[in-house]
């Protein structure tokens, strides 16, 4: 509840041409959020900003974005806690900035701006969040179990690179079997293209992709098709260009804990209360005003907070409260594999729902390519690694990790299988190759089909990266438009040095060929080509059929804790058994990444119950997927594991009596 009094003497002290009555009332004002511009009437907006560095803050209303546009100045009242607030006659669409301490040349955007129509260096814009006509009143949200996540970058997902164009493709994603779209960061950032991880206006959907209502329409369209939409949020750093927070306060950042991007955000130091409020409000805002179905928290290992309530947990709980009766999902990226993030707060955890499983990805890459360098060093790509991933999620749960010369991870025992998000491609991992090449080009077609089947039928929550479902040939590399100047070269050099951790990419010849992040042609090459859906139909059919099986089959959709066991069948082969009550509706998933093998298996997990036999339910060797054709795997005489293939089997009643063993003379 805020109250703003008109300071007549202060108004009279400035030139009359600059002043305009602000329409301030003496009544208390109820705000939705503690910061930013909020409409409180058809032509009336309340503004509030935290600015402990300022002695005085003026609201600057602008008739247009032109440099010579007419401006009017309105003093804001200082409140307790170094907040400044006030009301002005400003309707939705009004442009504004703030002036600090009467500085005649520098006007700055709102740190909590809801829209920056001309980018982070331009004016902020008043937004009416109630203008959009939502149609998702019956949408109940999403829960972690049963989801298939699809990561997309708005700027490259379609040729147009807009939310409007992306919304037109959502029906196709639903048709494939996707259930949740994960949108890469959209907080506004400078330049004409970028990944979004250097956002500086955390409340402002990027002007590059459309208007805030275009984003609302995307989410609303998703909900109408049964798709959840979650947002990748970056709460570990701000981008270096266009970040004006330092104008208002020195307390947003702290040098006590540096991360990969420099100073970390001050969540637990002096004056950290308003900083925490900023981020908690941001979480509430995306859920409430845009109906997002949750978050993917970026690089939480770089978020340092010793408070009693870890900031990511605090944001998540506030987001759930904002969602009301809707269910949302909260997933974290955490390189250190800290499972406390998904434990309940009553047990010292942070109440999140899921964690990205880098271990599964790294094992898959080693198995498919043989690459064992940099952060792949500690992985074998062995059958046992995939069995352990299916049973326990993370592989490293506190063991020594030679790449970092320290133990890595914490125990996962008791965590549900859906809490671990498995993937073989995402934006980071595709780009961490010389030319952003897709994984299918780094291995054989058979092994790639087999690994795709394991990914999509495993007990974890699978994630696909945009275009993966149709075997996209377009690359995905790191790109950022930073303009001219020293920052451009620094980013290029930094990216190349990062990739040099892979000895195969560190040679002088290779470094010369690496894509330059600021080259617009690099960005353009990353845009998907949807005509490949038809040209690469075998990949498309593979994903449609696998996800259909995952959603419809009684065992593959179950994700039951302790419901899967596995056994090694050979140097490159293994089996997972999905158990049912009474074991008469079990499934087998047999994976062989090597040559064809014939077994006479002494392995209990391959044994059918009495009166039943195994029948092939699905095979990656089908000719419709580009394979040589499916073969019988299980007979009463032996098992045949086709080369570089995954086969799913189900139990059926025996078609013929089980053969009796031949009698052999003893002695």
| Residue ranges of domains in the chain | 8-125, 149-483+519-548, 563-653
Alpha carbons within 13 angstroms on the beta-carbon side of residue 478 total 20
Q: For residue 628, count other CB atoms closer than 10 A to its CB.
A: 13
% of the chain surpassing 90 pLDDT: 83
Q: What is the pLDDT of residues 311-340, one digit of tens each?
A: 999 999 999 999 999 999 999 999 999 999
- DSSP character for 360? H
Residue 354's beta-bridge partner residues?
Answer: 331
- Residues near 507 by Cβ (< 8 Å), separated by ≥ 6? none
- For residue 56, pLDDT over 80 is answered with yes
Average pLDDT over residues 422-444: 95
Mean pLDDT, range 381-388, rounded to an integer: 98
Q: pLDDT at position 513, please?
A: 81
**In this predicted model, what pLDDT tens digit does every residue of 246-257 receive, in sequence order?**
999 999 998 777
What is the rounded distance in angstroms from the CA atom of residue 96 to the CA atom of residue 58? 10
State yes or no: pLDDT of 26 exceeds 80. Answer: no
Left if phi > 0, otherwise alpha if psi is -120 to 50, otherwise beta: which for 41?
beta
> Residue 62: which residues within 8 A CB-CB, separation 6 or more?
69, 70, 71, 95, 96, 97, 123
Residue 15 has pLDDT above 70, yes or no: no
pLDDT score recorded for residue 180: 98
* Separation of alpha carbons 210 and 213, rounded Å: 8
CA separation for the pair 20, 63 (Å, rounded): 13
Residue 276: pLDDT above 60?
yes
- Concerning whether 333 is annotated as a catalytic residue, the answer is yes
**Confidence at 610, pLDDT banded by 50, 70, 90:** very high
Out of 100-109, 284-293, 566-575, least confident range:
100-109
Q: At residue 20, does pLDDT exceed 70? A: no
Output the pLDDT for position 68: 84
Radius of gyration over alpha carbons of the chain, in Å? 28
Tokens of 52: 């402990």
Assign 3-state DSSP to the chain and report helix, strand, coil percentages, each to 5: 30, 20, 50
Average model confidence (pLDDT) across the chain: 92
CA distances from 387 to 212, 393, 454, 564, 565 (A): 44, 10, 11, 9, 7
Residue tagged active-site, from 220, 298, 418, 553: 298
As a whole number, mean pLDDT of residues 423-447 equals: 95
Average pLDDT over residues 214-231: 98
CB 448 within 8 A of CB 468: no
Three-state secondary structure along 446-511? HHHHHHHHHHHHCCCEEEEECCHHHCCCCCCCCCECCCCCHHHHHHHHHHHHHHCCCHHHCCHHHH
Section 438-453 average pLDDT? 98
| 508 pLDDT tier (thresholds 50, 70, 90) | confident
pLDDT above 80: residue 484: no
Label residue 413 exposed, middle or buried (CB < 10 Å: 0-12, 13-18, 19+): exposed
Helix ranges (H only) for 140-264 are 154-157, 163-167, 170-176, 212-224, 245-248
Give the closest residue to 361 by CA, choosing from 409, 306, 430, 303: 430
pLDDT over 70 percentage in the chain: 94
CA distances from 266 to 52, 236, 263 (A): 15, 10, 9
In angstroms, the Cα distances linking 477 to 359, 435, 484, 510, 514 are 22, 7, 20, 15, 10
State the average pLDDT over residues 101-120: 94
Enter the DSSP assignment of 659: P
Which whole-number Å values give the CA distances from 248 to 253, 269, 587, in the listed order? 12, 17, 60
Do residues 41 and 82 touch, judged by C-beta distance below 8 A?
Answer: no
Residue partners of 11: CB distance under 8 A and separation at least 6: 19, 75
Reported confidence tier of residue 667, pLDDT bands at 50, 70, 90: low
Rounded to a whole number, what is the distance in angstroms from the first to the last CA of the chain? 95
- Cα distance between residue 311 and residue 303, in whole Å: 8
The one catalytic residue among 110, 151, 188, 333 = 333
Distance CA 178, CA 644 (A): 26
Q: So what's the pLDDT on residue 10?
A: 36
pLDDT at 13: 34
pLDDT for 19 equals: 37
Which band of pLDDT confidence, cut at 50, 70 and 90, is reported for residue 131?
very high
Query: Does the pLDDT of residue 3 top 70, yes or no?
Result: no
**Helical residues (DSSP H) of 225-272, grouped into ranges:** 245-248
Asked if CATH classification 1.10.132.10 holds for the domain at 149-483+519-548, the reply, yes or no, is: no
Q: Would you say the C-alpha torsion 282, 286, 287, 292 has a positive or negative sign?
A: negative
- List the one residue out of 336, 333, 341, 499 whose CA is nearest residue 406: 336
| Long-range contacts of the stretch 484-490 (C-beta < 8 A, 24+) | 487/240, 487/241, 488/518
Residues facing 107 on adjacent strands: 99
* Rounded CA separation 622/427 (Å): 29
Residue 6's pLDDT is: 36
Which pLDDT tens digit goes with each residue over 525-545? 999 999 999 999 999 999 999
Token output for 512: 């010369």
Q: Which residues contact 619 (CB under 8 A, 6 or more apart)?
A: 627, 630, 631, 633, 642, 645, 646, 647, 648
Predicted pLDDT at 659: 76
CATH annotation of 8-125: 2.60.40.10
* Cα–Cα distances in angstroms (integers) from residue 416 to residues 252, 343, 399, in the given order: 36, 11, 21
Separation of alpha carbons 664 and 667, rounded Å:
10
pLDDT band at 483 (very low <50, low <70, confident <90, very high): low
Mean pLDDT value across residues 613-634: 95
Cα separation, 505 vs 511, in Å, equals 7
Is residue 133 over pLDDT 70?
yes
Q: How far is residue 179's CA from residue 327's CA, in Å, rounded to a whole number?
A: 14
Tell me which CATH code domain 563-653 carries: 2.60.40.1180
- Between CA 262 and CA 532 the distance in angstroms is 41
293 is catalytic: no
Paired residues of 230 in beta bridges: 182
SS3 118: coil
Please say whether the beta carbons of 491 and 480 come within 8 A.
yes
- In the prediction, which pLDDT does 503 show? 84
What pLDDT does residue 421 have?
98
Q: What is the pLDDT of residue 631?
A: 87
Strands 645-653 and 612-619 come out as: antiparallel
Question: What phi, psi does 497 have (nearest 5°)?
Answer: -65, -35
Query: Which is nearest to 222 in space by CA: 129, 325, 150?
Result: 150
149-483+519-548 and 563-653 in the same fold: no
């Amino acid at each position: 509840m805020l109250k703003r009094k008109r300071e007549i003497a202060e108004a009279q002290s400035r030139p009359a041409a600059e002043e305009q009555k602000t329409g301030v009332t003496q009544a208390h004002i109820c705000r939705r959020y503690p910061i930013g511009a909020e409409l409180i009437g058809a032509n009336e907006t309340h503004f509030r900003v935290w600015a402990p560095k300022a002695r005085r803050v003026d609201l600057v209303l602008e008739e247009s974005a032109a440099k010579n546009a007419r401006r009017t100045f309105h003093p804001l009242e200082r409140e307790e806690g170094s907040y400044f607030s006030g009301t002005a006659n400003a309707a939705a669409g009004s442009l504004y900035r703030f002036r600090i301490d009467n500085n005649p040349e520098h006007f700055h955007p709102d740190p909590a701006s809801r829209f920056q129509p001309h980018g982070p260096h331009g004016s902020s814009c008043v937004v009416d969040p109630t203008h959009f006509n939502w149609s998702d009143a019956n949408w109940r949200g999403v829960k972690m179990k049963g989801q298939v996540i699809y990561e997309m970058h708005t700027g490259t997902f379609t040729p147009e690179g807009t939310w409007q164009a992306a919304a037109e493709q959502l029906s196709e994603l639903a048709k494939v079997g996707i259930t949740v779209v994960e949108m890469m960061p959209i907080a506004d950032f400078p330049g004409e293209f970028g990944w979004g991880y250097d956002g500086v206006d955390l409340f402002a959907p990027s002007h590059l992709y459309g208007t805030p209502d275009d984003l609302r329409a995307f989410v609303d369209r998703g909900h109408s098709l049964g798709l959840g939409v979650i947002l990748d949020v970056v709460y570990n750093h701000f981008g270096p260009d266009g970040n004006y927070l330092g104008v208002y306060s020195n307390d947003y950042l702290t040098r006590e804990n540096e991360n990969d991007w420099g100073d970390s955000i001050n969540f637990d130091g002096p004056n950290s209360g308003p900083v925490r409020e900023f981020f908690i409000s941001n979480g509430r805002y995306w859920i409430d005003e845009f109906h997002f179905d949750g978050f993917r928290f970026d690089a939480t290992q770089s978020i340092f907070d010793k408070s009693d309530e870890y900031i990511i947990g605090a944001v998540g709980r506030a987001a759930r409260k904002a969602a009301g009766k809707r269910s949302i999902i909260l997933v974290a990226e955490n390189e250190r594999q800290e499972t406390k993030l998904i434990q309940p707060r009553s047990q010292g955890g942070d109440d999140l729902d899921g964690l990205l499983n880098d271990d599964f990805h790294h094992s898959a890459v080693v198995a498919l390519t043989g690459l064992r360098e940099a952060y792949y060093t500690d992985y074998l790509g062995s059958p046992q690694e995939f069995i352990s991933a299916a049973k326990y999620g993370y592989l490293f749960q506190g063991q020594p990790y030679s790449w970092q010369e320290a133990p890595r991870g914490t125990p996962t025992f008791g965590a549900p299988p859906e809490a671990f998000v498995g993937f073989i491609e995402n934006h980071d991992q595709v780009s961490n190759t010389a030319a952003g090449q897709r994984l299918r080009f780094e291995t054989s077609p058979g092994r790639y089909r087999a690994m795709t089947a394991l990914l999509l039928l495993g007990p974890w929550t699978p994630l696909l990266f945009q275009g993966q479902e149709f075997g996209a040939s377009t690359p995905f590399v790191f790109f950022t438009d930073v303009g001219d100047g020293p920052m451009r070269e620094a980013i290029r050099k930094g990216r190349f040095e990062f990739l040099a951790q892979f000895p195969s990419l560190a040679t002088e010849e290779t470094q010369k060929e690496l894509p330059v992040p600021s080259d617009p042609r690099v960005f353009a090459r990353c845009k998907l080509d949807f005509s490949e859906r038809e040209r690469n139909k075998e990949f498309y059919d593979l994903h449609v059929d696998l996800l259909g099986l995952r959603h419809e089959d009684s065992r593959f959709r179950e994700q039951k804790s302790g419901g899967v066991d596995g056994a090694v069948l050979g140097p490159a082969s293994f089996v997972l058994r999905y158990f049912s009550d009474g074991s008469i509706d079990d499934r087998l998933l047999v994976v062989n990444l090597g040559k064809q093998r014939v077994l006479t298996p002494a392995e209990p997990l391959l044994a059918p119950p009495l009166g039943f036999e195994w029948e092939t339910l699905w095979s990656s060797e089908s000719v419709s997927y580009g394979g040589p054709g499916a073969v019988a795997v299980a007979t009463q005489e032996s098992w045949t594991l086709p080369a570089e293939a995954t086969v799913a089997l189900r139990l059926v009643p025996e078609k013929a009596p089980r053969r009796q063993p031949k009698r052999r003379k003893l002695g």
